[in-house]
Amino acid sequence: VAITTIGHDGDDTLWHSENHFAVTTERLVELLHPWVEEPTGAGPVSTEEMLVSIERRNLALLGYGVKSFTLSMIETAIEASGGRIPASAIEEIMGWGRELLDHPVELLDGVAKTIETLSGRYELVLITKGDLLHQESKIAQSGIEASFDGIEIVSEKDPVTYRRVLGRRSVDPGRFVMVGNSVRSDVLPVLELGAHAVHVPYQVTWALEHHDSTTGVAPSFATLGSISELPSALDEIEARAGS
C-alpha cells in the first residue's frame, strides 16, 4: 500500500509557538507575584497551576489559541488576586495577548527544505487547531503555504475530526501519515483510525497536550529528533506497509 497523503501539524511542528506561551506565562507569574502567596506543600496552588486549570475549564467553551489563553490569563489574575488586580494589570495582560498574535512566524529548523522535498512526492495537508484568524495569518506568513494541497483549521484533533478530514479528501487511512509534536493530538487519534503517525517532539509541551503514558502499548509510531528525518521515516513506513 503506497502512502499518498501526509498531514502536518502547524504549531511546534512547522513553526515555533509554545516557547512564546511559556515566556508569557513567566511574565504572568511575575506580575501576580505580589498577590499570590508562595505555594507550600499542601497549600495554595501556584499561579501556573491555576492558569492551567482555568485553561482546562475554559477549553470546551473557548477552544484553543491566543485569545482563549489571554482570557484565561485575565481570569487567573482576577482569581489569584481575590479581585484586587487593577485595570492597568489587565491592560498589560491584554498587551501580551496582542504581542502573541502579532509575533512573526519562525519556521523550525529543516522545515522549509523537508516540505519542499515532500511536496513533489505526496499530497500535503496542513491540519492545525487554534484561532481561525491567527492560524490563517501564520500560514500566510509562513512562506510554505504554496507547498500544501490543502489546509484544515479544526477545533479539536480527535478521531472524529481526522475521519471527517480524510473522508472529505477521499484518503484511505492506510495511505495517510500524520506528523506532529503532540502524541495526544497528532498521533493517538490517527492511529485509532488505522492511519500512520510520526512524532516530532518540540522543546516544550503545553500542559494540556500532556498525555497518559503509552508504556505497555507496543510503540506503533516513530519518534524523530528533527523533521529533517521525515523523508526516510516515510520510506520506512511505506516499506513496512508494503510487506
Question: What DSSP element (H or E) covers 177?
Answer: strand 176-180
Tell me if 131 contacts Mg ion by CB under 5 A: no
Q: Choose, by CB under 5 A, the member of 181, 188, 197, 233 that binds Mg ion.
A: 181
| CA contacts within 13 A on the Cβ side of 235 | 6
Which element (helix H / strand E) includes 129? strand 123-129
55 binds Mg ion (CB under 5 A): no
> Reduced to 3 states, what is the DSSP secondary structure of residue 125?
strand
Least Cβ distance, residue 198 to Mg ion (angstroms): 13
- Asked if 152 touches Mg ion (CB under 5 A), the answer is no
**Residue 8 corresponds to which amino acid?**
H
CB of 113 to Mg ion, least distance (A): 20
By CB under 5 A, which span of 55-63, 73-81, 150-158, 174-182 interacts with Mg ion?
174-182
- List the one residue from 3, 6, 7, 12 that touches Mg ion (CB under 5 A): 12
Number of residues located near Mg ion, criterion CB under 5 A = 4
Nearer to Mg ion (CB atom), residue 9 or residue 123 = 9
CA distance 120 to 158: 28
Torsional class of 128: left (φ above 0), alpha (ψ -120 to 50), beta (otherwise): beta
Nearest approach, Cβ of residue 21 and Mg ion (Å): 11
Q: Among 9, 55, 123, 152, which residue interacts with Mg ion (rule: CB under 5 A)?
A: 9
* Contact pick of 11, 55, 123, 152 for Mg ion (by CB under 5 A): 11
- Distance CA(48)–CA(207), nearest Å, equals 10
Helices (H), the chain: 18-32, 47-62, 66-80, 87-102, 111-119, 132-142, 159-168, 188-192, 230-242
Closest distance between Mg ion and the C-beta of residue 147, in Å? Answer: 18
Q: Give the nearest distance from C-beta 96 to Mg ion in angstroms.
A: 21
User: Which residues lie near Mg ion (CB under 5 A)?
Assistant: 9, 11-12, 181
